[in-house]
Chains A and B, each alone.
Chain A
């Protein structure tokens, strides 16, 4: 995302290309950030099937 911003500010890529880069990178950024700072890992569990 930062690279896209710099390339756009430098006039190397157009706004549309920058937006396309954001659409691709923002979801990965959100999930990666969460997986990086989340609490410790856990074994896989069975789904919730009711009380």
Chain B
């Protein structure tokens, strides 16, 4: 398990590097090497580190530990075929963690980032509809049983494509430089991450690697089904490339527009789920 945990961290960071590289190439820039995010994690961990005088020390440090811990837990839940409700509970918990990051430092930019993370909770609502639709067909919230259902009936991606699209939108909202990345928008410097530097930022990079791996793995498990580790790697790279295209071609929305678009999509999904419920 420790080997898989480390693999998830480094491969997740590599995926984020591929994401940056593809965005750069679409925008006709050379871009950083694909392993840049891994180098970032090491670079930050070597830097001189302290706690800002205006920060709440316990929250400032504790929130980094919690962030790594919850995504480690999410990884174990998804790879052992546990409940998707736990995974999505952790996903929602991450909003509180982002908020904690922003508020702990005493920096106004961090606070703006923290507030925006609460606003962007609208991006999680399509997730509920997605889970409801999956449960409607598979009669289960366990990842292992959902995977087994797909072995018999085929991938849910083809059975309920709109539910897959809803979760794709949720994953997109978590990717950097995307249309919904309002928590890290440049007008608030680095948002909730602004004051977490050095070793704290290295911890945040580890979280980002784990989070990326878990979200993509969950998407594949829920909508494609059982895959060998080789195919998981290939499918994740393809997913990240498609997400990079979406991020490169769509401008970052303002916070208001971001919430509006996500709310409209949620309404569409609720209608879709209602139709499926009636038909089923």
Instruction: Give residues in A with beta carbon < 8 Å to B.
Output: 1, 5, 8, 15, 18-19, 22-24, 26-28, 30-31, 33-35, 37-49
Q: Are A38 and B198 in contact (CB under 8 A)?
A: yes
| A46 to B153 Cα, complex, angstroms | 58
Residue among A27, A38, A45, A46 making CB contact with B68, cutoff 8 Å: A27
Chain B facing A: main interface SS? helix
Q: Are B206 and A22 in contact (CB under 8 A)?
A: no
Q: Are A44 and B51 in contact (CB under 8 A)?
A: yes
Residue among B50, B61, B199 making CB contact with A44, cutoff 8 Å: B50
Q: Are B107 and A48 in contact (CB under 8 A)?
A: yes
**In the complex, what residue of chain B is closest to A26 when comparing beta carbons?**
B72
Contact status of A38 and B46, CB under 8 A, knowing A27-B203, A30-B68, A45-B53: yes
Contact status of A48 and B45, CB under 8 A, knowing A23-B76, A26-B68: no
Residue among A28, A39, A44 making CB contact with B52, cutoff 8 Å: A44
Q: Are A24 and B47 in contact (CB under 8 A)?
A: no
| A12 to B76 Cα, complex, angstroms | 20
- B65 on the A face (CB < 8 A): yes
User: Which among A8, A26, A49 has the highest number of chain B CB atoms within 10 Å?
Assistant: A26
Residue among B50, B65, B69, B203 making CB contact with A41, cutoff 8 Å: B50
A43 contacts which chain B residues (CB < 8 A)? Answer: 50
Instruction: Give residues in B with beta carbon < 8 Å to A.
Output: 1-2, 5, 44-55, 61, 64-69, 72-73, 76, 80, 105-110, 189, 194-195, 198-200, 202-203, 206
B194 contacts which chain A residues (CB < 8 A)? Answer: 47-48
| A5 to B5 Cα, complex, angstroms | 13
Q: Are B5 and A26 in contact (CB under 8 A)?
A: yes
Q: Are B52 and A47 in contact (CB under 8 A)?
A: yes
Q: Are B76 and A34 in contact (CB under 8 A)?
A: no
Q: Name 17 extra pairs, CB < 8 A, besides A34-B203, A38-B47, A38-B49.
A: A1-B2, A19-B80, A22-B2, A23-B69, A24-B69, A27-B203, A31-B65, A34-B45, A35-B49, A41-B49, A42-B48, A42-B50, A43-B50, A44-B53, A45-B53, A47-B106, A49-B108
**In the complex, what residue of chain A is closest to B197 when comparing beta carbons?**
A48
Q: Which 7 A-B pairs have the closest CB atoms?
A: A34-B199, A27-B68, A47-B107, A34-B45, A27-B65, A39-B48, A19-B76
**In the complex, what residue of chain A is closest to B107 when comparing beta carbons?**
A47
A8 contacts which chain B residues (CB < 8 A)? Answer: 1
Q: Are B202 and A34 in contact (CB under 8 A)?
A: yes
Q: Are B105 and A47 in contact (CB under 8 A)?
A: yes
Q: Are A34 and B50 in contact (CB under 8 A)?
A: no
Q: Are A39 and B47 in contact (CB under 8 A)?
A: yes
Residue among B51, B69, B76, B109 making CB contact with A48, cutoff 8 Å: B109
| A40 to B203 Cα, complex, angstroms | 18
